[in-house]
Structure 1
Amino acid sequence: MKRWILMAGLMLTLIPEGLLAGQNGSDGSGDMVDAGKVVVTATMTEKRVADVPGAVEVITGQELIEMNAQTVADALAEATGLVVTTETGRQKRPSIRGTGNNHTLLLIDGRRLAAGFKDLLGLEQIPMDMIERIEVVRGPASALYGSDAIGGVVNVITKTPSRDLSMGLTAQYGQSIYHEGQEAIGSAYLSDTWGRLGMLLAGGYRDKDGYDRDGVPPDDGDDIEFGSGGGRISFDLNDHHRLLTGLEVVDRNAGGLRNIEQMDRQRDADDRRLNYFLEYAGHPTDLSSLMLRVNHSEHENDYDFDPPTSLIAGGIGDETHAQRRLDQAEGRFSGMFFSRHLVTIGGEYREEGREDDSGLDEDIDNLSAYLQDEIQVVDPLYLVLGVRWDDHSDFGSQWTPRVSMTYSILSHLRLKAGYGEGFRAPGFLELYVPTYMKCGKQVFEPNADLTPETSKSYEIGFEGEYRRFSGRVMAFKNSIEDMIEAVYYSSSGTGRSKKDYYQYQNIGDATISGVEAEWTLGLPMGFDLSGNLAYLDAENGDTGEELEGRPDYKGALKLAYHHADMGLKANVRVEYIGERYYADEPEDDVTLVHAYLSKQIMKNVMLFAGIDNIFDTGADSDIEPTFYYGGVSLRY
């Protein structure tokens, strides 16, 4: 299967233009849509993907439906050059271009969120109820977004109130091939506008049973209850100025059996999250825009064990109960000057804090300002220059510049290149809090002497469309100085009592380079073939050894079918994750195959069904076994 994916990727990347026929690209109906998608994350101004000077991927709401994504982790599983990893507390985190799970900034509508358990914002904690699309920017984005964006940005874009009445309801049920892991899901939304006032309400509930393949602790999957809700209220002051407020609420409980301190214990974890904001967005003139926003985010967790256990040896450090908060005020102005310069200037003040059972009560703040100039130098050349200044209360000031370009070689062929610098300040966890993973079998010790990471990144590539084919090939190199990694230094015990010890350290220089390829090909009779393939070479500059947890290859293929007259949509998806190096034991490569089918039976009623992990691979990892599901969706 691995050879098949690699060969298919290479063949599609090298298809001669003359062999392709039809119109520009395909979305299932023969029309190219990728280059025309509008994104905002890459430059903070609306841009077509074709014009953005860098690698950007848009996962649309329809694509989320057709992969049956129940979490943002599900939605990102097949994204180019992005690997979803399972971290402490079974939290899901993204790693873009091998930079690591702490180097990808997660946003909702450009808003930062408070961290979660062990200072990680898990992808499973972001509600799916109101998602319109997800934008993934690969490459350094610290020149706009500051700390944590060394690898890139994942920005979840939510819906706003609709102009006309719209509502929907979805219900589904599924279970694994072993008759475990039963899952019931329900979600609903309602939206309308009355004059200048708009409203959107959405919510969902998910109840998933645990499962265990071998009957030996830990359980392979937890019992999960997940409830979420959110809303938006908009008020149009006039045609050019709008107020928007909203919130997201999440309550997640996960319980399962763990073997801790040589005893089987029931672990019960509660995570509660609340986000709310108030925003003004307007156009002072036809060629300018202004945004002002205040944002609050908070997270609280409670972790219990039965029978009880000590805090440290129990595998959760001092976070039996912990609270985190983030307050953010920001503003930016964009305007056109001298007909060729689109200038964006902005600033942000952010304060973050946490309290936990150890007595830790810490606050940090960050003040920043940024400037960006998008220049249409000549008709084929589009240049973006940017720089940001951050002043961190614990680590001082940092400047992060960026320069990138798009050069139109032909009407449907573009050269894109860029250079950017980034930084990331150490988190509370790395500085102060011991972390226990894999039920305490891996101990990650903090280090109060850590210094911020800095990076220099380069990328260059080509992208274009020709009739029914679109594609992109991008090469990149990231040089990270003072990279923070959990470095293995010893083990104790044997068998089920074995523990591996790590400590967070600035390992010096790390070099991560690779090549990414993406393509979409419109086929006859309503079929589409799309895919991506990424090669990665990640090396510890001090030791010359491979960095842990980065797959050498990662790719995906999707064959999709769409018949509008019959109301049919279907796809088969192949997901490949290559071998990953770990100091104690490498993790084998894995290939997953999924399928989805939907049928519109009436104008407002759709039935759907699917199978995840058809061949039940990944039994030795945290990948779920073969899972069958089906449901109904009502829309008005």
Structure 2
Amino acid sequence: MRHCEHRSWEGVASGCSVRPARKPGDRPGDREPCLCHNGPLHPTGSRGATTVLYPARCLVRRGGVRVTPTTPFFQSRQAGVPDVPCPESRITMSHSWKLAALCVPLAQSVLADPSATQLEPVVVTATRTSEAAHTALAAVTVIDRTEIERRQAQSVPELLRGLSGVSVTRNGGPGHQTSVFLRGTESDHLVVLVDGVKIGSATSGGTSLEHLPVEQIERIEIVRGPRSSLYGSEAIGGVIQIFTRRGGGDWSPRLTLSGGSEHTAQIAAGLSGGGQNGWFDLGASFERSRGIDACAGRALPFAGCGVVQRDRDGYDNLGLTLRGGYRVSERLELEANLLHTEGQLDFDGSAFAGNSSRSEQQILGAKAILKPLEPWTLTLSAGQSWDNTRVFFDDPNTAGGERFVSRFATTRDSLSLQNDWRITEQQLATVGVDYREDRVSGTIDYSRDQRDALGVFGEYQAQVGAVDLTLSLRHDDYAELGGHGTGNVALGYLFDSGLQVSLAYGTAFKAPSFNDLYYPNFGNPDLQPERAQSWEVGINGALPLGAALDGRWEINLYQTEIDDLIGYDNQTWSAANIQRARLRGLEASTEATYGAWRLSTNLTLLDPENRSAGALSGKRLPRRAEQSLEIDLERQFDRWSFGGTLFANGRRYDDLANRDRLGGYALLDLRTEYRVTADWRVQVRLDNALDTDYQTAYLYNQLGRALYFTLRYQPGTH
């Protein structure tokens, strides 16, 4: 845990980035230099790349020094703005002579040597406060904008696939339903935030990550492990927070054109900018794909392929984003954001279930960050997310050639007040309140269509020498479910060599969804929340590769036990708390660079055991691969770069009884990029180069070999 001041919900927006961990010989109490910044930070991390610094407030702590300049500190050549010297500063502690020793050489190295600009990524999701990713007492992965473009990914699930502790399944081609499992927990045991606003369906409990426009995303933070003590219900497996582009600096347009296999075409455009105290980003994207036949050739009742339709299941998606903010003064900052998507999807269905859908999703957020006193930061956030899905069936006998089947809609309003109080330089206390109201509507007549929840939480973070401590507690109260308490404690030790060892224990829960409680002929209003407890051991450090190589490694071992899982009870013909599960796993990841070479690996070993009573005891939980491996290798040649990614997944089952076995598979993706000029780039990607035939969900086809071309324009990216 390494704290920085001027915390906001998105620490990389107006928070700090932290230099790598202490070197041998440094005193355990020494503090790393912190670089606070107004613009977006592109850090290096588990999936990161070269970092640049934007106009900034510089906060330095080492050996009793704390410096807070009142004018910008660095400006990046990559940002296309002129360099500025380290300014005169307001010294708030002694030893002011160290300012020159810290600021001037650091500025020179940042601007003269690109490799020197690689900073450790800062995350805010793990503790709801800014901290360095590699010293966080949680398993955290960061995907930044540079990494998104380097991987040439076309969707959020593509970015998540292959990460340590993450399993992704998809029911067909582009735009089809996608499920994400963190550490083997259920796909609805996951909190997903967009710019701090919680999203997802209150009816099914799932989240439509496949519809979020990847071209409008700045970075993604994935925190694995229980986080209900900070975020409440659903955070059993972890939290994924997605940040849209923030903008800032000089006005800068951007354009992306892409096309390829299955008649896929995409266009995205945007404009960002701002002044000395403001920032904004406006983006729009449209994607269309003819798709593939989603089903694998035969119908099976209730399997999702109600009928066999020998046709392609196409997909369209329109995405719009707007984000902006203004720093009113040194003590007040305001920000607002909007994300809107509209999609149309064809699938193999039936007259009862439909075979096409039209979906809308919108996320609105606003927040104010106030610093009434020097050690006190108050953040007030408000948000609303809603989704609306209409289902149709092709019918030539009706007007328009289709017949309406059903509609499902969810609205989630949220309000949060968070107080952060820096007790000392090594201690931070957080107290907050979250309020959420969920409403559902549609063609299904629920016996109850509204509920609210109130959560109160507190967190304490401290550093005592080489020891880091994080303690958090939370109480959530639901009108129909009563109160539920959760907690988390983590302890870490940072050795002089840079090796960090951490231990953590946490509890979490998930409140039943509207479908679980009130769906006709299935719901059970007497259901209790699903409960979990988890233990974890983590080790991370720098790879001992010598001065010519730069790299890090991380290993996490965990066990999670989940009780009162909700399933279908054949005796009562309704939902019931009748299932249990135990999840054991190992996650290992490495990243290394040597000159123009770059290598990263992610390994996951998972034992997802069903511990329910009866015939299911000892079976594997469905759709979780027991082994997965990702190896990514890339080489830079001046204007050219060439890379490849190998994905390997072990077997999995698609049903609770373990009768429908899905075999293991390996996929090879290849990519290249050519920088035509400083502002123009051409990219080519070959997915599934070996044309492997595989399934991640029973009876659903996946894309075969596919080739895509992309043209990117963005000034100031050289």
TM-score normalised by structure 1 residue count = 0.84
Partner of 2:305: none
Partner of 2:86: none
Name the SS for the 1:36 alignment partner: coil
Q: Give the counterpart letter for 1:477 in structure 2.
A: Q
8 Å contact kept, 1:116–1:299: no
2:173 is the alignment partner of 1:99: no
2:628 is the alignment partner of 1:537: no
Distance 1:266 1:397 in 2: 39
Distance 1:205 1:511 in 2: 42
Change (3 A) 1:555 1:485: farther
Shift of 1:613: 0.8
Change (3 A) 1:126 1:393: farther
Partner of 1:362: 449
Residue in structure 2 matching 1:452, options 529, 536, 541 = 529
Structure 1: which 5+ residue stretches go unaligned?
1-23, 176-180, 310-315, 435-443, 491-501
Partner of 1:225: 316
8 Å contact kept, 2:248–2:275: no
Shift of 1:413: 0.6
2:362 is the alignment partner of 1:274: yes
Shift of 1:507: 3.1
Partner of 1:609: 684
Distance 1:99 1:304 in 2: 32
2:230 is the alignment partner of 1:144: yes
8 Å contact kept, 1:116–1:300: no
Partner of 1:464: 541
Q: Give the counterpart letter for 1:549 in structure 2.
A: R
Residue in structure 1 matching 2:564, options 460, 478, 482 = 482
2:490 is the alignment partner of 1:404: yes
Change (3 A) 1:422 1:87: farther
Name the SS for the 1:431 alignment partner: helix
2:404 is the alignment partner of 1:324: no
8 Å contact kept, 1:171–1:185: yes
Shift of 1:114: 4.3
2:629 is the alignment partner of 1:558: no
8 Å contact kept, 2:534–2:561: yes
Moved more, 509-518 or 134-143: 509-518
Distance 1:379 1:423 in 2: 34
Distance 1:364 1:307 in 2: 37
Structure 2: which 5+ residue stretches go unaligned?
1-44, 51-112, 299-307, 398-402
Partner of 1:19: none
Shift of 1:479: 0.8
2:717 is the alignment partner of 1:635: no
Computed over aligned residues only, the root mean square deviation of the Cα atoms, in angstroms, reads: 2.9
Moved more, 318-327 or 35-44: 318-327
Distance 2:369 2:486 in 1: 27
2:343 is the alignment partner of 1:252: yes
Q: Deviations over 1:96-138 (max 9, x none)?
A: 0001101111111221024178442111122324311110000
Name the SS for the 2:516 alignment partner: helix
Alignment of 1:279-318 (within 5 A): 279-307=367-395
Change (3 A) 1:30 1:199: closer
Distance 2:237 2:415 in 1: 24
Shift of 1:321: 1.1
Q: Give the counterpart letter for 2:147 in structure 1.
A: E
Alignment of 1:48-67 (within 5 A): 48-67=132-151
Q: Give the counterpart letter for 2:293 in structure 1.
A: D
8 Å contact kept, 1:35–1:49: no
8 Å contact kept, 1:30–1:522: no
Distance 1:471 1:67 in 2: 21
2:121 is the alignment partner of 1:40: no
Partner of 2:269: 188
Shift of 1:623: 2.1
8 Å contact kept, 2:393–2:405: no
Name the SS for the 1:509 alignment partner: strand
Name the SS for the 1:323 alignment partner: strand
Change (3 A) 1:530 1:117: same
8 Å contact kept, 1:116–1:324: yes
Shift of 1:218: 4.6
Q: Deviations over 1:352-378 (max 9, x none)?
A: 0101212225111000110000011x2
Shift of 1:202: 0.4
Count of aligned pairs: 574
Name the SS for the 2:632 alignment partner: strand
Moved more, 464-473 or 609-618: 464-473
Shift of 1:35: 7.9
Q: Give the counterpart letter for 1:558 in structure 2.
A: D
8 Å contact kept, 1:34–1:49: no
Shift of 1:390: 0.4
Greater length-normalized contact order (CA 8 Å, ≥ 6 residues apart): 1
2:600 is the alignment partner of 1:600: no
Distance 2:170 2:297 in 1: 21
2:656 is the alignment partner of 1:585: no
2:284 is the alignment partner of 1:203: yes
2:427 is the alignment partner of 1:341: yes
Shift of 1:27: 5.1
Q: Deviations over 1:508-531 (max 9, x none)?
A: 4311111111011324x5112211
Between Structure 1 and Structure 2, the one with more strand by share is 1
Name the SS for the 1:101 alignment partner: coil
Partner of 1:132: 218
Name the SS for the 1:510 alignment partner: strand
Q: Deviations over 1:167-213 (max 9, x none)?
A: 210001110xxxxx210001011011145443211010001113239
8 Å contact kept, 1:230–1:246: yes
Q: Deviations over 1:324-383 (max 9, x none)?
A: 10100101011211443201111111000101212225111000110000011x211000
Shift of 1:60: 1.5
Distance 1:404 1:63 in 2: 29
Q: Deviations over 1:249-277 (max 9, x none)?
A: 1100012443567xxx9722000112212
Change (3 A) 1:189 1:27: closer
Distance 2:568 2:171 in 1: 13
Shift of 1:31: 5.2
Distance 2:202 2:290 in 1: 23
Distance 2:592 2:279 in 1: 39
Change (3 A) 1:556 1:505: farther
8 Å contact kept, 2:486–2:508: yes
Name the SS for the 2:515 alignment partner: helix
Q: Deviations over 1:453-509 (max 9, x none)?
A: 11110000211003433111110000111122468x79xxxxxxxxxxx97542343
Change (3 A) 1:90 1:555: same
8 Å contact kept, 1:252–1:272: yes
Partner of 2:163: 79
Distance 1:31 1:484 in 2: 51
Moved more, 531-540 or 126-135: 126-135
Q: Give the counterpart letter for 2:565 in structure 1.
A: M
Residue in structure 2 matching 1:546, options 620, 624, 647 = 620
8 Å contact kept, 1:27–1:33: no
Q: Give the counterpart letter for 1:575 in structure 2.
A: F
8 Å contact kept, 1:253–1:269: yes
Partner of 2:645: 573
Name the SS for the 2:342 alignment partner: strand
Q: Give the counterpart letter for 1:157 in structure 2.
A: F
Q: Give the counterpart letter for 1:107 in structure 2.
A: L
Shift of 1:220: 8.1
TM-score normalised by structure 2 residue count = 0.75
